[in-house]
Structures are given as C-alpha cells and as structure tokens.
C-alpha cells in the first residue's frame, strides 16, 4: 500500500469530501469505498464548521487538507499554516491555481510555495502537471510525493496524457505518485493504477454520480484491480495476433 512521508495508507484510493448531495451520502460513500485519505478544505466559518469537523473525524480516513482556490504563493502558504493548526497535521495538498478556466496549476508559484512550506516542516502533496522538469524541481524543493493531474479538475476526462504520466512514472520510480484530478470513471482509476501509480485522488466522479456510494465502491474495486494488475506484470501489447490455443496437435480435418 502507498507510503506517504513514512506513513503507510490502508487504501490506494483517496477521496474528496466536496459536492455530495448531503452529509449522509458523503458518509455512505466513505463507508462503501473505505478510502485511506480524505481531502478537506478551509473556508470562512458560517456556522457549519463544527458539524463538518465531526463528520470528517468519523470517516475513518486520514485527513489531507488542501489549499484549493489559492492563486498566489502568499495565499497558499497562509492557508497551509491555518490548515496545519486546525487539522493538526503537517500534510498539505498544495494547490496554486494558475488559470481560472482550466484550473491548471501555476507551476512556478507551486515550486516556490512548496519550497517555503517544506522548509517550514510541512509535508507537501503538490497538485502538479506531469512535466518532468517541474516534477524534478518539486522534489528538489522538498516534496516526497507528486500529484500530477489526469485531466483538469472536475472534467472527468480521465488520463489525458498517458505517455507523459508513464514517462513520469519511469523517471521517478522511487517517488510516490498520485494521479489527482480528472478521473471520471473506474476504468480511468484502474488505468492509472495499472501504469504503476501509487494512488488516485478523485472527488467529482463519486460525488456527482447518480449513486455516489455505489460509484465509490466501484472506484475502490477499480483501484484494487489496477494495483493488482500492475503487480502482476501485465503482458506487452502487440500489433499482430498470436494464437492462444496451441497449434500443435490440431487435427487435420480437411
């Protein structure tokens, strides 16, 4: 199972807590999938904070707070500090958004914020692209986990750049890698795991499904299947057919 900053997690599925039709359905989805990690955020307290705190405390998953919606280094670093105090964890999913329509990370600001936070004792999970140079800089900045996107957040488009992600996996064989964002279907999650990723992080695919708990369960099964498949060393694809039934011993019946 994946190990992040020295902590082994019981499941390779990481699940967000946003956009569910109700708190009860959120809890039901978590019971159905038993993800190892739950992502949460910080927002202005308007009366719901304590209730949500009680809910996430009972989910049975380790909490990973995010800096979602932050557009600058300063904003992300301040939010990370607030999250560390509130949630009592050094873990932070670092998001520094660079573009409003695609929600793609501002990778320059991301590297700068990651360096500041890592130097300050945070254990940073950077939401990044699959760019090898950017990922290398994030590791230099102190990150020990990378979370490249599959596709833009909430798009459900799956693995947009399988070649790039495969290349990233091959370049950093020892670094825990998580495909974060863009997963829409269990087949996408399975594909990421089959490629050797250590975990997948998704939210909308479950929360926005017609039956979130059933989809959560499907995602958990897909992640488990993909992980087992990678460990089983899949066969190479080939262009020509190759008979699977033995040719030798076939009767001559012309």
Closest CA to 56 of 68, 47, 65: 65
42 binds another protein, rule: CB under 8 A: yes
Figure out which of the listed residues 21, 24, 43, 170 binds another protein, where binding follows CB under 8 A: 43
The residue whose two tokens read 């798009």 is: 155
**Nearest-angstrom CA–CA distance, 25 and 9:** 23
DSSP assignment of 165-217 equals: HHHHHHH-TTS-BEEES---SHHHHHHHHHTT-SEEEESHHHHTSSSHHHHHH
Q: How far is the CB of 220 from another protein (least distance, A)?
A: 17
- Binders of another protein among 108-167, rule CB under 8 A? 153-154
**Nearest-angstrom CA–CA distance, 97 and 107:** 8
Contact 55, 26 (CB under 8 A): yes
Which is nearer to another protein, 117 or 230 (by Cβ)? 117
Say how many Å lie between the first and final Cα of the chain, rounded: 55
93 is catalytic: yes
Which is nearer to another protein, 66 or 129 (by Cβ)? 66
- Binders of another protein among 55-94, rule CB under 8 A? 56, 65-66, 68, 74, 78, 81-83, 85-87
Q: Is residue 142 helix, strand or coil?
A: coil
Which is nearer to another protein, 137 or 200 (by Cβ)? 200
Catalytic residue among 93, 137, 188, 227: 93
**Nearest-angstrom CA–CA distance, 104 and 99:** 6
List phi, psi (to 5°) of 13. -95, 125
104 binds another protein, rule: CB under 8 A: no
**Nearest-angstrom CA–CA distance, 189 and 87:** 28
49 binds another protein, rule: CB under 8 A: yes
Q: Is residue 15 helix, strand or coil?
A: strand
Which is nearer to another protein, 118 or 203 (by Cβ)? 203
**Nearest-angstrom CA–CA distance, 185 and 13:** 13
Q: How far is the CB of 181 from another protein (least distance, A)?
A: 8
Figure out which of the listed residues 39, 118, 129, 191 binds another protein, where binding follows CB under 8 A: 39
Interface characters, 197-216, with another protein (x: CB under 8 A): ------xx------------
Which is nearer to another protein, 128 or 230 (by Cβ)? 128
The residues that touch another protein, with contacts defined as CB under 8 A, are 16-20, 26, 39-46, 48-50, 52-53, 56, 65-66, 68, 74, 78, 81-83, 85-87, 153-154, 181, 203-204
């Amino acid at each position: 199972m994946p190990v992040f900053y020295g902590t082994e997690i019981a499941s390779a599925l990481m699940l967000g807590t946003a956009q569910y039709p109700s708190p009860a359905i959120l809890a039901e989805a978590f019971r159905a999938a038993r993800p190892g990690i739950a992502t949460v955020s910080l927002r202005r307290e308007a009366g719901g904070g304590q209730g949500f705190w009680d809910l996430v405390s009972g989910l049975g998953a380790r909490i990973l707070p995010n800096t979602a919606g932050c557009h600058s280094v300063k904003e992300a670093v301040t939010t990370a500090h607030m999250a560390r105090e509130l949630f009592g964890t050094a873990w932070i999913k670092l998001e520094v958004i660079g573009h409003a329509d695609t929600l793609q990370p501002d990778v320059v600001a991301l590297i700068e914020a990651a360096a500041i936070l890592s130097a300050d004792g945070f254990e940073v999970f950077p939401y990044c692209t699959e760019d090898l140079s950017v990922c290398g800089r994030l590791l230099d900045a102190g990150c020990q986990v990378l979370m490249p996107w599959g596709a833009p957040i909430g798009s459900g488009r799956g693995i947009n750049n399988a070649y790039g992600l495969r290349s990233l996996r091959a370049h950093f064989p020892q670094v825990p890698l998580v495909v974060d964002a863009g997963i829409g279907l269990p087949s996408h999650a399975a594909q990421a795991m089959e490629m050797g990723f250590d975990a997948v992080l998704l939210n909308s695919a479950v929360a926005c499904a017609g039956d979130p708990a059933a989809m959560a369960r499907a995602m958990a099964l897909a992640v488990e299947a993909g992980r087992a498949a990678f460990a089983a060393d899949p066969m190479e694809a080939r262009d020509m057919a190759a008979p699977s039934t033995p040719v030798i011993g076939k009767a001559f019946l012309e």
